[in-house]
Homo-oligomer: A and B are copies of this chain.
Amino acid sequence: MQDTLGAFVPGPIIQRAPYSAGSLSGLSFAVKDLFDVAGGVTGCGNPDWAATHEAAKADAWAVDTLLGAGASLTGKTVTDEISLGLLGINKFYGTPLNPRAPDCVPGGSSSGSASAVAGGLVDIALGTDSGGSVRIPASFCGIYGLRPTHGRISVAGMMIQAPSFDTVGYFARDALTFGRVGAVLLGQQMSDALPAEIIVAADCFALADEPVRRALQPVVDRLRDAAATTVSALAEGELLDWAHHQRILQRSEFHATFRDWIDRVNPRFSSEVAGAFADEGRIPSSDIAAARTFRESASKRLDDLLDGHRMLCLPTSPILPIGRDARLSDIRAAVHRIVDLTGIAGLTGLPQVNLPIATSGSIPVGLSLIGWRGGDAALVGAARSLAREFSVGQFEELA
């Protein structure tokens, strides 16, 4: 395999044959370099992290599980430094190519995984998602991606960033593969079915830029024909509060995670990533306490709303992918905008799937469904069902 996309981590290639035949036999997968593969250092997208950590002694749970299901590991993929970033920019190892929009960022932080899947270098890839790191590269690269319910898939052997947000996610190009991998990682068979009701979150769509809304509108219109659908605001006038509290809590957690390592190592970061530590220790504890209270009530609100049979429909990203040569101020503005929408499932710990269902010109535009807590299999099933129903774009690949 020739890595024409800059999707794989430079250096020695880590590969593994499957343990046994299984439902994923014949499929290849790559893993974000945030997952341990025994014998190599988990580099986490930063050379100073790589230089100050030992080789992994065991495989991460998710790696082990895919190998056990018959898939072959073909390498580790580039990630935003220590998973902080949503655009896929890495100043040390290069920004992986977005095969569907070569002038644009691939999205991150699971950038190389999305790039490798979208570009056909592998069938499947593992990513991580704390603030949008699977959902955004899936949307920008035009592929399927799942962020599961928080705690649903084991994070054993994965770099911790913000423990109450971190999840193991994955990517696939087609709905068939997407479902098969989901069944393995969730340990659960799934049926292709739409939920009893889909709520189109009007206030989420209102936050999206015009090209995103224009690209998704026909899909939403078809959805309303295909499924029981209502249109309503998720949090009339207060939606931005969700992201605000996600930012406070996630930041306070990753500061705690990395504080001692940064102090010990004085690591190099891009200015983008260094900026995430600029206010270190300056988040008032009263803000953190208020965010925790908000999180509890927001989670309850969504649990009550979705209630084991409803799903929420929203744009995965409110913006199109920005250019690869964007200025730092544009990078920061884009990340801020994105979290306005990814913060909803992030803050509440709910599962979310990206459907590669539309384009703006040739640029992919992803639609998302957020499922109820623990309803991951139903969510993947709904994605497969919509793929069959719609037969648009990547959906055609489902026979």
Residues A327 and B271 in contact, CB atoms below 8 Å apart = no
CB nearest to A325 among chain B residues: B264
Tell me the complex Cα distance, A175–B102, Å: 61
Question: Which of B48, B263, B268 is A329 in contact with, Cβ under 8 Å?
Answer: B263
Residues of chain B within 8 A of A278, CB atoms compared: 274-275, 277-279
Residues A266 and B262 in contact, CB atoms below 8 Å apart = no
Question: Which of B89, B264, B331 is A327 in contact with, Cβ under 8 Å?
Answer: B264
How many subunits of this chain does the assembly comprise?
Answer: 2
Q: Min CB distance, A283 to chain B, in Å?
A: 14
Interface presence of A392 (CB below 8 A)? no
Chain A residues numbered 288-346 whose CB sits less than 8 Å from any CB in chain B: 327-329, 331
Interface presence of A91 (CB below 8 A)? yes
Interface presence of A61 (CB below 8 A)? no
Residues of chain B within 8 A of A328, CB atoms compared: 262-266
Residues of chain B within 8 A of A266, CB atoms compared: 89, 91, 270-272, 327-328, 331
Q: Known contacts A274-B274, A278-B278, A279-B278: does B268 contact A92 (CB below 8 Å)? A: yes
Tell me the complex Cα distance, A268–B89, Å: 12
Q: Known contacts A48-B91, A328-B262: does B271 contact A268 (CB below 8 Å)? A: yes
CB nearest to A258 among chain B residues: B271
Residues B274 and A269 in contact, CB atoms below 8 Å apart = yes
Tell me the complex Cα distance, A268–B277, Å: 14
Q: Min CB distance, A236 to chain B, in Å?
A: 34
Interface presence of A267 (CB below 8 A)? yes
Residues A269 and B269 in contact, CB atoms below 8 Å apart = yes
Residues of chain B within 8 A of A277, CB atoms compared: 271, 274, 278
Interface size on A, residues (CB 8 A): 24
Question: Which of B270, B279, B331 is A267 in contact with, Cβ under 8 Å?
Answer: B270
Q: Return the CB mask of A126-154 against B: 1 if under 8 Å, else 0.
A: 00000000000000000000000000000
Tell me the complex Cα distance, A329–B281, Å: 13
Residues of chain B within 8 A of A89, CB atoms compared: 266
Q: Known contacts A91-B48, A278-B278: does B263 contact A267 (CB below 8 Å)? A: no
Tell me the complex Cα distance, A263–B91, Å: 14
Tell me the complex Cα distance, A265–B91, Å: 10
Residues of chain B within 8 A of A275, CB atoms compared: 274, 278
Tell me the complex Cα distance, A263–B331, Å: 9
Residue among A89, A268, A272, A327 having the largest count of chain B Cβ atoms under 10 Å: A268
Residues of chain B within 8 A of A327, CB atoms compared: 263-264, 266
Residues of chain B within 8 A of A265, CB atoms compared: 271, 328
Residues of A at the B interface (CB closer than 8 Å) are 48, 89, 91-92, 262-272, 274-275, 277-279, 327-329, 331
User: 27 A-B Cβ contacts within 8 A?
Assistant: A48-B91, A89-B266, A91-B268, A92-B268, A262-B328, A263-B328, A263-B329, A264-B327, A265-B271, A266-B270, A266-B271, A266-B327, A266-B331, A267-B270, A268-B268, A268-B270, A268-B271, A269-B269, A269-B271, A271-B274, A271-B277, A274-B277, A274-B278, A275-B278, A277-B278, A278-B278, A278-B279
Other contacts beyond A266-B272, A266-B328, A269-B269: 15, CB < 8 A? A48-B91, A91-B267, A91-B268, A262-B271, A263-B328, A264-B327, A266-B271, A266-B327, A267-B271, A268-B269, A268-B270, A268-B271, A271-B274, A274-B274, A278-B278
